[in-house]
Amino acid sequence: MGSRRDFLRISALSSAALITPSLSTFSFAGKRKGNKPLMISTWNHGFGANEAGWEILKDGGAALDAVEAGVRVPEADPKERSVGYGGLPDRDGKVTLDACIMNHEYECGAVAALENIMHPISVARLVMEKTPHAMLVGEGAQTFALAEGFKEENLLTERSKKDWEEWLKKSEYKPVINIENHDTIGALAIDAKGHIAGACTTSGAAYKMHGRVGDSPLIGAGLFVDGEIGAACATGLGEAVIRTAGSAMVVEHMRMGKSPVEACEIAVKRIMDTHKSRMENLQVGFLAINKNGEYGGYSIRNGFNYAIVDTENGNRMEDAQFKMKW
Ligand code: SD4
């Protein structure tokens, strides 16, 4: 988890000079030949997500099933402190989860501030498939989940409880993301039919205000899919992604002809331009894929990595390009 920590660390070097590679120097992008599937997921926990997703994609399964199955892996893993079970709670000690999912036909579902349900992504999928709505929140989302047969369970592990109790001693609440403790999973996939889907799920910013919702369940912010163009997802400070409609912006730039990595860079730059007075410790990263199977990632600061799996090269980790060093 070294590179993740580097990404999240508050570093004395955070004011380091900007590194601005020209768009033509990007190397972290791959081309998909023919209708071969691929899946890309944020961070080190993206590796396990890709493994689960690939089991579906390699046999001709649907991208939507792959991204859902993929992100369920960290959702159920108590060692992942920023997704699902074991996620760090809000400042009131409650684990509240945000998630969304979208397919290649502009169908989407989301849940926000959902408590006591281990797999918010699967609830989000049912919001998409079984309701006329795009999003359910809080108690309403939980009632829906229980009616659909999900189990109510305590998601606050002893370890997360201890960390929260430690945090309570100072309770230093700042309305900024706790950058040591966030690590959303976003996953994007294209299947053998050329269908694209995406999923995003998180416990959000650690020790956030109760009721705070980040970018991750918001279609257009934490995730966006256009089946004719491509898909994008975000990680990092949700408020900055919401303010700029980050993932929708990435997809719109791909629509205008930019490659995934170029489009991600444009969205990163927009956030930097619009957050000039709020850049201290600000981190946001985007991943994107397009219909041709090109992919890429870009973040404000170094340390953002992702897992990518395809037929040619299997599952592996790559580092995203970035604008500046911590
Ligand atoms: C949020 N974007 O709730 C999420 C947190 C995150 O990596 O992405 N962490 O703001």
Going by DSSP bridges, is the β-strand pair 314-319/321-324 parallel, antiparallel, or unpaired? unpaired
User: What is the Cα–Cα distance from 77 to 101, expressed in whole angstroms?
Assistant: 20
| Cα Rg of the chain (Å, integer) | 18
Catalytic (active-site) positions = 184
Position in ligand 1 atom list of the atom nearest CA 204: 3
- Ligand 1 close to Cβ of residue 262 (< 6 A): no
Q: What is the pLDDT along the chain (326 residues), one digit of tens a residue?
A: 334 433 333 232 333 333 333 333 333 455 555 568 999 999 999 999 999 999 999 999 999 999 999 999 999 999 988 999 999 999 999 999 999 999 999 999 999 999 999 999 999 999 999 999 999 999 999 999 999 999 999 999 999 999 999 999 988 766 444 444 457 999 999 999 999 999 999 999 889 999 999 999 999 999 999 999 999 999 999 999 999 999 999 999 999 999 999 999 999 999 999 999 999 889 999 999 999 999 999 999 999 999 999 999 999 999 999 999 98
**Annotated binding-site residue? 215:** yes
Q: Which structure tokens are listed for 114?
A: 């959902």
pTM: 0.90
Phi, psi of 113 (to 5 degrees): 50, 40
User: What is the Cα–Cα distance from 315 to 325, expressed in whole angstroms?
Assistant: 27
User: What is the Cα–Cα distance from 86 to 4, expressed in whole angstroms?
Assistant: 18
Position in ligand 1 atom list of the atom nearest CA 235: 8
Q: Which structure tokens are listed for 187?
A: 């996953």
Query: Which CATH number is 4-11+33-324's, of 3.20.20.70, 3.40.50.720, 1.10.10.10, 3.60.20.30?
Result: 3.60.20.30
Kindly state the helix (H) or strand (E) to which residue 125 belongs, with its residue range: helix 120-130
CA dihedral sign, ordered 3, 46, 263, 125: negative
Task: Give the domain ranges of the chain.
Answer: 4-11+33-324
Probe target for ligand 1 pocket from 7, 42, 177, with the most ligand atoms within 8 Å of CB: 177
